[in-house]
Amino acid sequence: MSVSQFKSFMECQAKTLAELKGEYSRPHSNALTVGSYVHAAFESDEVFSKFVEDNRKVIVNTRGNKYADFAQADKMIQALKNDKFAMFALEGEKEVIYTGELFGVLWKIKVDNINHRLKIFSDLKTTQELSKRYWSDKYSKYVSFVEAYDYVLQMYVYREIIYQNTGENYRPYIVAVTKQDPPDKAVLHFDESRFEFEKEYAQTNLSGIVQAKQGEVALNRCEKCDYCRATKQLNNTFEIEFLLE
């Protein structure tokens, strides 16, 4: 299990299992490529150069200029590199992989940055705006992008797996940079109380995910994602009230 796989199963079991079986591939997402582009810039010059070369067709146009999203991403990168505190928060070993066990299931994590001297780890996130509000069914309220995209859950899992591998409690941080022009930025920490909710949330839902992954139960379909729309077969009518669910 990984955090991204857990989140995907929570969104749609049918799509996630089809993806794991190689029966479905997610369509290209420019937003994800931009995020990976920014991440690569802080891993190493070699990694960044290779990423640009491997993705040149989506980064650079036929005239040799970067597309607007990636030109903006360069501004985001520079905004962080010009900030001493942000760069301090991003210090450490890069892309470190750990494995561990949570609730009887093996997990694998990849940490953006881990600083063993300070006993902290950080994750770099790109977002539209720092203060944008999102409705969350999980929390039953409007939340920040950090909660909306389950980054609190991610930090909980990472912290627990890092503890299993080091015997130390490392403090998690998010270094966020926005896609605005000029970009905004922040280093975010977490109140400890947030992790208790995420622990209960993961523990409550994990067994159902494992059963779905192993084919022991019928898969839930969200009927909203691209996979469900492409494979939908109608067998009944429904009242118009349900259009807004």
For residue 135, being part of any structural domain is answered with: yes
Judging by DSSP bridges, how do beta strands 141-143 and 120-127 pair with one another? unpaired
* Percent over 90 (pLDDT), the chain: 91
The band of 202, judged by pLDDT with boundaries at 50, 70 and 90, is very high
For residue 106, being part of any structural domain is answered with: yes
Q: Residue 245 pLDDT more than 80? A: no
Q: Residue 20 pLDDT more than 80? A: yes
- Would you state the pLDDT for residue 127? 96
For residue 194, being part of any structural domain is answered with: yes
* Percent over 70 (pLDDT), the chain: 100
For residue 232, being part of any structural domain is answered with: no
- Would you state the pLDDT for residue 31? 87
For residue 83, being part of any structural domain is answered with: yes
- Would you state the pLDDT for residue 16? 96
The band of 176, judged by pLDDT with boundaries at 50, 70 and 90, is very high
Q: What is the pTM of this model?
A: 0.92
Q: Residue 1 pLDDT more than 90? A: yes
Q: Residue 231 pLDDT more than 90? A: yes
For residue 228, being part of any structural domain is answered with: no
Q: What is the CATH number of the domain that holds 118?
A: 3.90.320.10
Across 143-160, average pLDDT: 98
243 compared with 118, residue with greater pLDDT:
118
- Would you state the pLDDT for residue 146? 98
- Would you state the pLDDT for residue 92? 96
DSSP characters over 22-45? TS--PPP-HHHHHHHHHHHHTT-H
For residue 242, being part of any structural domain is answered with: no
Across 172-191, average pLDDT: 97
Q: Residue 242 pLDDT more than 90? A: no
Query: For residue 29, what are the domain limits?
Result: 3-220
For residue 235, being part of any structural domain is answered with: no
All residues at 6 or more sequence positions from 187 whose CB lies less than 8 Å from its CB, including other chains: 85, 86, 89, 122, 173, 174, 175, 176
Total domains, the chain: 1
Contact (CB, 8 A) for 89 and 175: yes
